[in-house]
Amino acid sequence: MLRPFSYGRLGVRGSPMSSTPASQIEDRLAGLGITLPQPNPPVANYVPFVRAGDLVHISGQVSIDAAGGVKGVVGEDVDMEQARHGARLCGINLLSQMKAACQGDLGRIVRVVKLGGFVQAGPNFFEIPQVVNGCSDLMVEAFGDAGRHARSAVGVYRLPTNFAVEVDAVVQVS
């Protein structure tokens, strides 16, 4: 038996009734031990984000950090825990791009609309959705209900410069 879907505290079109103050989001991140890095510059012929109306499309962010990040093939060189951490790094980098897109004010994020997750997976690795949860969980931790989103999670043969995970996003802004 199917249960009716509920948006909970979301509005009619799936938008939260109000955005969260930037200080609350920054406090949540600090409580998680997260300091946002400077946004990563593009490595090819594209821009980090594009705004179209109230939507911001953020280019894919790879599993990189100051220590070099998570590289390799998941299920061969990279285990599940490392891969989930890599997806979380992608989320941190997405948050950094969101902040840049909103002129430093994460409180302007109305909701995370969609994430697209890509995992450089070995031929016998099938837990792609569980890897991308590393990023999805962070969006909910940062934005609460406004961080709940639609998503795709895809296993791929290769990602740029051998990173294990890449995630792109669409967010609604005020």
Range of the domain at 153: 22-40+51-173
In a domain, 109, yes or no: yes
Secondary structure in 3-state letters for the chain? CCCCCCCCCECCCCCECCCCCHHHHHHHHHHCCCCCCCCCCCCCCCCCEEEECCEEEEEEEECCCCCCCCECCECCCECHHHHHHHHHHHHHHHHHHHHHHCCCCHHHEEEEEEEEEEEEECCCCCCHHHHHHHHHHHHHHHHHHHHCCEEEEEEECCCHHHECEEEEEEEEEC
Residue 1 lies in a domain: no
The arithmetic mean of pLDDT across residues 68-90, rounded, is: 98
Q: Is residue 8 part of a domain?
A: no
Question: Is residue 2 domain-resident?
Answer: no
Is 166 within the bounds of a domain?
A: yes
- The answer to whether residue 4 sits within a structural domain is no
Residue 14 resides in a domain: no
Instruction: State the pTM of this model.
Output: 0.89
Task: Please write the tens of the pLDDT for every residue from 25-77.
Answer: 999 999 999 999 999 999 999 999 999 999 999 999 999 999 999 999 999 99
Q: In the predicted model, what is the mean pLDDT of the chain?
A: 90
CATH of the domain at 35: 3.30.1330.40
Give the mean model confidence (pLDDT) for residues 116-134: 98
Determine, yes or no, domain membership for 65: yes
- How does residue 19 score in pLDDT terms, banded at 50, 70 and 90? low
| 4 pLDDT tier (thresholds 50, 70, 90) | very low
Domain count, the chain: 1
